[in-house]
Homo-oligomer: A and B are copies of this chain.
Amino acid sequence: MQDKINVTVWNEFVHEKKDEAVRKIYPNGIHTAIADFLGKDGRFSVRTATLDQEENGLPESILEKTDVLVWWGHMAHEKLADEVALRVKRRVLEGMGLIVLHSAHFSKPFKLLMGTNCSLKWREADEKARLWVIEPGHPIAAGLGEYFELPGEEMYGERFDIPQPDTTVFITWFEGGNVFRSGCCWDRGNGRVFYFQPGHETYPTYYEPNVRKVITNAVAWAAPRVNIKDDCPNAKVPLEPIQKRDLSAYRAIANKG
């Protein structure tokens, strides 16, 4: 039997404590709702972590045994310790998977890994979203039809300032007239990153069956293949003989330059 994939679901867990409407939907936090359905899959061993815990819930010891990290944040991005953000980035480059949800497009780890502003257009207007499957053969689209709909979501619209994705799995049609690359994959270092747009805190998005399927597929897809520490070695001994040569004539071009 193969070992289970160790998943950590991280949430800033702020809205749910402050806002009655959000608490109604996610009484135990968005992280718990996500951990619940992932836990039922059978392939994953799931824990949660939140901003208010020590080291923001992500000490070295936890991250070291995390295979895939799921991330939700919105209003408290800046409260995450820089050191923790860099630690998450480092772990992705070593091989860990990272699933970035909705407003976490502005989270520190995602921005560090992308190298761009990750800006976009947005609108809260209870509008319909239709997610078109662009790559039906991609593992993250497994089990979906040609598209699926969400009756109400926050709009995120192009231009989305990201490096061109290695694969664009979904593009969303928004009722109010916008489009968005809503499911994007990148390889970074030895790890995999998936950004998925749905999940505003005032909607029950993470109970929606298709959304759950996507996140479940994404966690399985992002499971590490290797775990390689960063290294920039002096490969002092050449693999092939290097001819001794007199470079003085070459160096002399400097005087004529």
Residue ranges of A at the interface with B (Cβ–Cβ < 8 Å) = 24-26, 33, 36-37, 89, 93, 95, 106, 112-117, 119-123, 125-128, 130, 132-139, 142, 146, 151-152, 155, 157-159, 161, 163-164, 166-168, 171-179, 181, 186-192, 203-204, 206-208, 224-226, 228, 230-236, 238-240, 242-245, 247, 250-254, 256-257
Residues of B within 8 A of A24 (CB): 251, 254
Number of copies: 4
Bound CA–CA A167/B164 (angstroms): 8
CB pair B117–A33 under 8 Å, yes or no, is no
A93 contacts which of B161, B190, B235 (Cβ < 8 Å)? B161
Assuming A132-B179, A167-B164, is B120 touching A254 (CB within 8 A)?
no
Bound CA–CA A151/B242 (angstroms): 11
CB pair A116–B235 under 8 Å, yes or no, is no
* CB-defined A-B contacts under 8 Å, sample of 14: A24-B254, A25-B254, A33-B254, A116-B188, A127-B238, A128-B242, A134-B181, A138-B225, A151-B247, A164-B167, A173-B177, A173-B178, A207-B253, A208-B253
Bound CA–CA A173/B251 (angstroms): 21
Bound CA–CA A250/B119 (angstroms): 29
The list of the 10 closest CB pairs from A to B, nearest first, reads A176-B238, A177-B239, A137-B190, A207-B257, A177-B240, A119-B232, A204-B254, A115-B115, A121-B235, A113-B115
CB pair B166–A171 under 8 Å, yes or no, is no
A155 contacts which of B172, B235, B257 (Cβ < 8 Å)? B235
CB pair B115–A191 under 8 Å, yes or no, is no
Residues of B within 8 A of A192 (CB): 137
Q: Which residue of B lies closest to A37 (CB)?
A: B257
Residues of B within 8 A of A26 (CB): 254
Bound CA–CA A125/B237 (angstroms): 9
Bound CA–CA A152/B138 (angstroms): 33
Bound CA–CA A178/B171 (angstroms): 10
Residues of B within 8 A of A166 (CB): 164, 166
